[in-house]
Structure 1
Amino acid sequence: MIWVKDIMTPISGSLTETDTCREALRRVMDEEAAGWPVADSAGEFVGIATPRALGRLLKEEGPETSCLGGVEFGPIAFKATLPLETAWSRTFQVAAVSGEDGQIVGILSRSALAVALYQRAEFQVKELEAVLNSAHNGIVVINREGMITSFNRAAERFTHVPKEKALGRHVLDVLIPLGLMETLQTGQSEYSQKFRVGRHTYIMNRDPVKQEGKITGAVGVFQDISEIESVSQELASVKALNRELDSVIQSSSDGFVVTDAAGIIIRTNAAFEKMSLSTAQELLGRRIQELGDGEVYAHSLLDVVLQRKHPVSVTEKKQDHSFLVTGSPVFDEEGRLVRVVINLRDMTMLNQLRQELLESKRLSEKYHLELAELRQRGDTGGMIASSPEMEEVLELIQRVAKVDSTVLLLGESGVGKEGMAKLLHSRSPRAEGPFIKVNCGAIPEQLLESELFGYESGAFTGARREGKIGMFELAHNGTLLLDEIGDLPFNLQAKLLRVLQEREVVPVGGSKPRRVNVRILAATHKDLEEMVRLGKLREDLFFRLNVVPIWIPPLRERRADIIPLLHHFRERFCKKYGLQREFAPDAVEAFYQYDWPGNVRELENMVERLIVMAPGELITLSLLPPVFQSPPEEGGGVSVRALMPLKEAVLEVERQLIERAMAKYGSTYKAAEALGVNQSTVVRRLAKLRRKATNA
């Protein structure tokens, strides 16, 4: 309740006939009052001098005239403890306010009273809106024409219709028929009306809104009862809920309580009374912090809301119940926190939906994987592939990644076998698992077995007391890359074969096998078939590794990748070192013509060297090593870089000539003309070279 004393303008003393018009007007203006009480010589209140009357007197009679001439109203006075509503019912413009002893203590204007009543009404509207939005029940209000005037957050959640699209529209254009139009026509309240929307079941209470005996609207309150239909106490819960749905606040099966900024409870509903084991009479006027843990579940949230000044949600467990507790602050127009609305919801019944939730998660993961696969199409995972040869390799990688077959990556040193292995892992169902790489040629032979398979405690001198897990077990549920598999010692090949066949490992010094779930990738630059022929590699191990062979062509056989790789590495190292470098056209041409015996790795190292050592921003041909600056050989200028059988050398020279002719002219007709052979001969030789590269 707000009293007249709360909004009046306090004053001290009254004006008398000895006070001049100038003095009276100055006092009124200094205090910014709507007027000032005037007393006669006997001290009796005779009226109120207003600024307008004093101003007129000042103009007509002069500033030294007695202020009595500025008294505009009769002796109208209110008690300081008079309610605002009672004061508004009186006819006045300016009134004096008297205390308990009858002395004038303030001035009240009708305009100030109107502002106070408007602010109070506006605050009550905000408070009601906060209560509506805190309820977990959907609430819809329509006017007499059927237009939606109120639509809370729960109604948005249940109907999947935003509030801004619902307000101001006819209810039948927004929602399925809920019976609110019938309530407008009949004026009858209806409770526990059940209806279904899809797989959800709702109950609704409908009540007409009446003003001065006329129906001016209708209110619908509905709740999703799908969860509680499956529990044994469904009927009792619904009946108890129906008895509580007698108003907007009491309609919610969730408990809520409203406190002021000090935590004093000023409003509660039946559900909260039930949760707190208290009656409304016992709760109202008490500080919520004074309620013990055994009585209520919401008091611990209040201090958090007061501190953060924004909505806060927490979960609390009490005995065999779990509660979702939400606290929402309410602010006045000046931004001061004046109310806290706390809502409690019993989430126990939702635990029965655990199996359905697990199924939903499974479907979600399935759709996520499918979506990720769609996004990955066309994505090379950072690999530069502009040539048709590499595009074929990447397409094969994408297909093979979906299965768990063993893959053997073949190619010269530096062609990117490890990068392809990482790409294959990232595109596989094991992408979330570990990717472990073991270089079989970089680990001493005496240590390689324990690194691969691990060892038990005390397996050998210097072994850890707790033993060690091998690379196969570290890669469990993931991918293991056996790099340089051609360097694997012969005495370990049988043990590796057993792991590939049985999918289990036996640590050094152990006797009990351990199951592992690992996808095996192997990589080498060596000719494994030749190693089998020479007895350096077990034939059965070769067949186990060679399930899906993938040949990665050398850079000289996919020259279309050289320039993209050049610019890719230039951008990477310029960004890494904070430099600005560009390659001159003659340098780019030299990069394209060079055969790159070290392949992509050599190209990457060369670009990094030039980026950091170039004296200026432009990298010209003169900055490249001499091997890049040699003019291209004409006629029979071909090279063989290592000793080999004469037959193989002839084939190598033939390969180099055909590749140079194709790189220069781009067609088999022109290449055949330059080489002095038939076009069909070039086609046959190219096919033969490609088959040999694929089978290698």
Structure 2
Amino acid sequence: MNPTSASAVMSNLDLKYILDNSYDLIIITNEKGKILMVNSAVKRILNVKPEEIIGKKIDDLIRKGYYDRSVTLKAAKSRKIETGLVKTCTGKLLIVTSNPIFDDKNNLRFIFTNTKEQELVNDYLQNIEYKNIKLRTEIDCFRDRNLNEEELVYKSKCMKEVVDEAKRVALFDANVLITGETGTGKDLLAKFIHRHSRRAEESFVPINCAAIPEHLMESELFGYEYGAFSGASSKGKLGLLEVANNGTLFLDEVAELPLSLQAKLLRVLESKEIMRLGGTKIQRIDVRLICATNKNLRKLVHEGKFREDLYFRLNVVHIKIPPLRDRKEDIKILSDHFIRLLNQKYGTRKKLSERAIRVANDYEWPGNVRELKNVIERLVICSTKDVMECRVDIRKDINNKTRANINLSEEETRPNPCKKTLKEIRRDSEREYIMKIMNQTNWKVSEASKILGIHRTVLWKKMKEYNIEKP
């Protein structure tokens, strides 16, 4: 279709009708900033009728307070496309793009200005962020399932009872409180409940209440609007309660939740409504809450450190995971499970000797399954034989309590440390300590770097140098 026939099909009236149906504000000016055309969106954005400003100059609108600045005039001066933020008399923030239009002789004829409300753009970006977070969560869950790392491995009767109860509870939307010592696998049980619930296809959003500073916890949970506080993102931020909508929110170490936030969380559980910091819009949410702690919440209630009403809300169903020392039948099957995963990861063919299994069964495992997993990995890495041995040193700690501390190394072929250089010993010690801290913090680099007293980038470099990867 040639230009002549196109102009015959589309009249000026058609063009005006099309522009008026644009949700964005469109203004066309001449080279001097005189308004030649404006669409009907001006009524919504500037609270004026189109005929009130057609024929006026952009300068006049600025003087009268319609705008605080003009991107149109900037584009006329620079003779190139310009984009900027403009504030209107109605308090709206606009994202404005002005495009200068030239004739065949490169003379400036018109400036075409398109204006979007920043709030709409932010909502769009946050919607994308929300979808990205959900996709990342789903990818993580898919990866975990493929690696079988999220599998609950057990043989003991007491753990079978725990898992059976978790399966029953998963079918209902009641709040669940999971208790147990550090390293017993409370997070795995929470994921297990989510995967067996009607919300399994939605997000599972974990948050460690002890890992986030108190002054950031509220914004992490509830999110915030633009300008809610000093240092807030110009786009605002989704809260984890929003991200978990229709899914499951897992509050790990819930005993560390500040009292001020406990009251707000209680209101959310009662009303099913949230409001972002600095916001005015109330949002309905549908979230299943699972909490975990290694502390006695009832005792904290008596001490005034945890709200009693929130405790009752969380403690609808209570599942306690027994420590590893009370389910010794699980030690071998867990060890075999971890060795199988590590053999796949490192391309090895390691297994525990019968003596090593006896030693492991005699140990108390104060760090529970997490400690066992770390010990097995250390064995797989340090052992030079396919059949791995270990030995036990009995020592007294500073509290004069005798306990077993497993030093895992090979009995017969253990290299003599005296033959190592100081640099090698320092390197081995540093690697082992970094591994310990990473496991202790569940591989959270920010948290681990604070404990180690180094910057995150330094920690990343050391992890790369020592070939430290999350198992």
TM-score (norm: length of structure 2) = 0.52
Q: CA offsets, 1:319-373, max 9 Å, x none?
A: xxxxxxxxxxxxxxxxxxxxxxxxxxxxxxxxxxxxxxxxxxxxxxxxxxxxxxx
Structure 1 CA distance for aligned equivalents of residues 275 and 290 of structure 2: 20
Does 2:399 align with 1:626? no
Structure 2 CA distance for aligned equivalents of residues 460 and 469 of structure 1: 15
Structure 2 CA distance for aligned equivalents of residues 380 and 436 of structure 1: 17
Q: CA offsets, 1:377-419, max 9 Å, x none?
A: xx99721120000000000011000010000000000000000
Partner of 1:548: 317
User: What SS does structure 2 have at the residue aligned with 1:565?
Assistant: helix
Structure 1 CA distance for aligned equivalents of residues 273 and 329 of structure 2: 44
Does 2:378 align with 1:592? no
Does 2:283 align with 1:514? yes
2:238 aligned residue (462, 466, 469): 469
The amino acid across from 1:626 in the alignment is D
Partner of 1:433: 202
* 1:585 positional shift: 1.1
* 1:639 positional shift: 5.4
Structure 2 runs not aligned, ≥5 long: 1-147, 405-471
* 1:511 positional shift: 2.9
Q: CA offsets, 1:274-299, max 9 Å, x none?
A: xxxxxxxxxxxxxxxxxxxxxxxxxx
* 1:474 positional shift: 0.1
1:416 aligned residue (167, 180, 185): 185
Matched-pair contact (CA < 8 Å) for 2:177–2:316: yes
Structure 2 CA distance for aligned equivalents of residues 531 and 414 of structure 1: 21
Which structure has more relative contact order (CA 8 Å, sep 6+)? It is: 2
Q: CA offsets, 1:177-220, max 9 Å, x none?
A: xxxxxxxxxxxxxxxxxxxxxxxxxxxxxxxxxxxxxxxxxxxx
The amino acid across from 1:423 in the alignment is F
Structure 1 CA distance for aligned equivalents of residues 348 and 154 of structure 2: 26
Structure 2 CA distance for aligned equivalents of residues 617 and 399 of structure 1: 41
RMSD, aligned α-carbons: 2.0
Structure 2 CA distance for aligned equivalents of residues 621 and 429 of structure 1: 45
Structure 1 runs not aligned, ≥5 long: 1-378, 631-636, 642-696
Q: CA offsets, 1:239-293, max 9 Å, x none?
A: xxxxxxxxxxxxxxxxxxxxxxxxxxxxxxxxxxxxxxxxxxxxxxxxxxxxxxx
TM-score (norm: length of structure 1) = 0.35
Q: CA offsets, 1:105-150, max 9 Å, x none?
A: xxxxxxxxxxxxxxxxxxxxxxxxxxxxxxxxxxxxxxxxxxxxxx
2:158 aligned residue (363, 368, 389): 389
Structure 1 CA distance for aligned equivalents of residues 218 and 195 of structure 2: 27
Structure 2 CA distance for aligned equivalents of residues 597 and 443 of structure 1: 25
Does 2:171 align with 1:402? yes
Does 2:372 align with 1:603? yes
Matched-pair contact (CA < 8 Å) for 1:386–1:564: yes
User: What SS does structure 1 have at the residue aligned with 2:344?
Assistant: helix
Matched-pair contact (CA < 8 Å) for 2:150–2:188: no
Partner of 1:177: none
Structure 1 CA distance for aligned equivalents of residues 154 and 252 of structure 2: 22
Structure 2 CA distance for aligned equivalents of residues 381 and 488 of structure 1: 26
Q: CA offsets, 1:465-522, max 9 Å, x none?
A: 2211100000011000000000001111100100111111121112332111110000
Which residues in structure 2 correspond to 1:641-660 (within 5 Å)? Answer: none
The amino acid across from 1:534 in the alignment is E
* 1:621 positional shift: 2.7
**Runs of 4 or more above 3 Å deviation:** 637-641
Structure 2 CA distance for aligned equivalents of residues 599 and 419 of structure 1: 14
Assess, with a 3 A threshold, how the Cα gap between structure 1 residues 441 and 395 changes in structure 2: closer, same or farther.
Answer: same
Partner of 1:582: 351
* Bigger Rg over Cα: 1
User: What SS does structure 1 have at the residue aligned with 2:168?
Assistant: helix
Matched-pair contact (CA < 8 Å) for 1:380–1:394: no
2:212 aligned residue (435, 443, 447): 443
Partner of 2:222: 453
Structure 2 CA distance for aligned equivalents of residues 416 and 562 of structure 1: 14
The amino acid across from 2:177 in the alignment is L
Structure 1 CA distance for aligned equivalents of residues 240 and 401 of structure 2: 45
Matched-pair contact (CA < 8 Å) for 2:325–2:365: yes
Assess, with a 3 A threshold, how the Cα gap between structure 1 residues 529 and 513 changes in structure 2: closer, same or farther.
Answer: same
* 1:556 positional shift: 0.5
Which residues in structure 2 correspond to 1:219-238 (within 5 Å)? Answer: none
Which residues in structure 2 correspond to 1:478-557 (within 5 Å)? Answer: 478-557=247-326
2:328 aligned residue (550, 553, 559): 559
Structure 2 CA distance for aligned equivalents of residues 538 and 599 of structure 1: 29
Structure 2 CA distance for aligned equivalents of residues 380 and 434 of structure 1: 18
* 1:583 positional shift: 1.2
Structure 2 CA distance for aligned equivalents of residues 566 and 592 of structure 1: 11
The amino acid across from 2:171 in the alignment is K
Partner of 1:253: none
The amino acid across from 2:298 in the alignment is E
Structure 2 CA distance for aligned equivalents of residues 447 and 387 of structure 1: 41
Does 2:341 align with 1:572? yes
Assess, with a 3 A threshold, how the Cα gap between structure 1 residues 638 and 585 changes in structure 2: closer, same or farther.
Answer: farther
The amino acid across from 1:619 in the alignment is M
User: What SS does structure 2 have at the residue aligned with 1:457?
Assistant: coil
Matched-pair contact (CA < 8 Å) for 1:584–1:620: yes
Structure 2 CA distance for aligned equivalents of residues 433 and 519 of structure 1: 11
